[in-house]
Amino acid sequence: MVKGTSKRGNKSVFRRVLGPLVFAIGLVFLAGCVGPSRKAPREPIYTSAADRAAEQTAVLKQVCKLVEKRFYAPDYNGANWATAYDRYAERAGAAIGTTAFYEVINAMLKELDDAHTGAMSPIESWEDLMASRAFVGINLERIDDQWVVVDLRPRSAAEEAGVKIGWIAQARDGEVLQAEGFSFRNEPGRAYAWTFLDEQDRAMVVTMTARTLATRMPPVERASPQGWVYLRFDEFETSYHTWLRERLAANRDAPGVILDLRHNSGGAVWSLERVLNDFFKDRVSYGAFVSRKGHRDKEKSAWRDGVGFEGDLVVLVGAASASSAEILAHVFKHYDRGVLIGRPTAGAVVASRFFRLRDGGELQMGIYDFESLSGDRLEGNGVEPDILVERSLTDLREGIDSDIDAAVDWLRVHARPIGAPSL
């Protein structure tokens, strides 16, 4: 399943990487003044198998034509797109149920080898617009060749059931989790049996009932006795960048900030441009978007004035840092504005937009490649940290955040004392 930004119809950067290293459990276009429907779309009812096949193959053909006209790579990243419809039409027409049908669409789109391109069914599109979804509440990351719980969603079934960070997830309802990645959809009110190894490697089966929660995790602020401030936000959109601006303004004189982008999977370009303003006195270039025909749009941070925070900056990154978060990390590194600590980022940096499909679903598709300030592609490569920190299962189980420990060590050596003038 693909999830994208709310900036529909313009340049927007994918905010959820579909890679093997991170998995968040649970995962309409507005015209004029018409608001979104509060009711979830229903499963379509067809009068015959032939009618179902006709409608579903028509949607498939629409997807194929959109990709043919707008996909950013003229060679379709090596995919034989000219034959795609013919190869998938029979399967699409025979699929029973929207979920099965969209699995066929996404199997076809997977040939494009682009993490920013995929289709959302009508119900997934509606959930995306409503910014809520059914979760059990665990975030998993691939550590030591195992799926490990690295984050718990507040007020979720997992938190209430006593699941702990550092537990190893092995299966859901008896289905073993695949090393190369997986995706589960949760139904609200349905119970799921998860198999874990706890902190003592004892097998446990925990049954959790999925509940509808806001998709956006709340931002986090913490302060240390030394005056350093920790700030975490997980998406580039209005409420998050407004919060970040307010917290930077309130802590303008802090000697240092630890900016946590490890769970930030990207978001809208216009939000990224405003965040950049808060860390630089003047407008800065951050790269170029490259069209299918090779036209390069050189981009800069927003015109409006930002906070202009001048204290020392440590940026935490990892495999789940994607898209706009990667561009931000790249800019900090290019201008020597901050030190990057953690692990390489996802390498998922292509600008995309949404296209409404005839059945109410949506196609999110990469339509611009991205060229970094150094002229390289971040797509498929990511951003390397300045200080590499290996995350271990042992540290997680002991409550040790080795990235933050490394950030604090760096600040102790490099950060100016509270009250000292900036240079």
CATH 3.20.20.70 for the 1-31+44-129+216-415 domain, yes or no: no
The pLDDT tens digits for 81-125 are: 999 999 999 999 999 999 999 999 999 999 999 988 999 999 888
Q: How many secondary structure helices (H) and strands (E) does the chain include?
A: 10, 21
Q: What is the DSSP string of 209-228?
A: E-EEEESSPPPEEEE-TTS-
CA 27, 29, 32, 34: dihedral to nearest 10 degrees?
-60
Asked if pLDDT for residue 423 goes beyond 60, the answer is no
pLDDT value at 30 more than 50: no
Q: Which pLDDT belongs to residue 38?
A: 63
pLDDT above 80: residue 1: no
Within 13 Å and on the Cβ side, how many CA atoms surround 247?
Answer: 22
List, in sequence order, the alpha helices (H) in 251-378: 269-277, 324-334
What is the per-residue pLDDT across 259-298, written as a single tens digit (0 to 9) for each?
A: 999 999 999 999 999 999 999 988 999 999 999 998 989 9
pLDDT score for 215: 80
- Alpha-carbon distance of 216 to 393, in angstroms, equals 26
pLDDT for 57: 97
Cα 75 to Cα 292: distance, rounded to the nearest angstrom: 10
- Residue 388 CA neighbour count, 13 Å, CB half: 4
Distances (CA, A) of 340 to 161, 230, 400: 35, 14, 19
Complete DSSP assignment for 378-413: -TTT----SEE----HHHHHTT--HHHHHHHHHHHH
∠ CA 291-296-299, nearest 5°, is: 110
Domain ranges across the chain: 1-31+44-129+216-415, 132-214
385-397 pLDDT, tens digit each: 999 999 899 999 9
Q: What are phi and psi of 31, to 5 degrees?
A: -125, 130
Sign of CA dihedral 241, 215, 177, 17: negative
Q: How confident is the model at residue 416 (pLDDT cuts 50, 70, 90)?
A: low
**132-214 CATH fold:** Pdz3 Domain (2.30.42)
**Looking at 12-16, 51-55, 335-339, which range is the least confident one?**
12-16
- Distance of alpha carbon 80 from alpha carbon 105, whole angstroms: 15
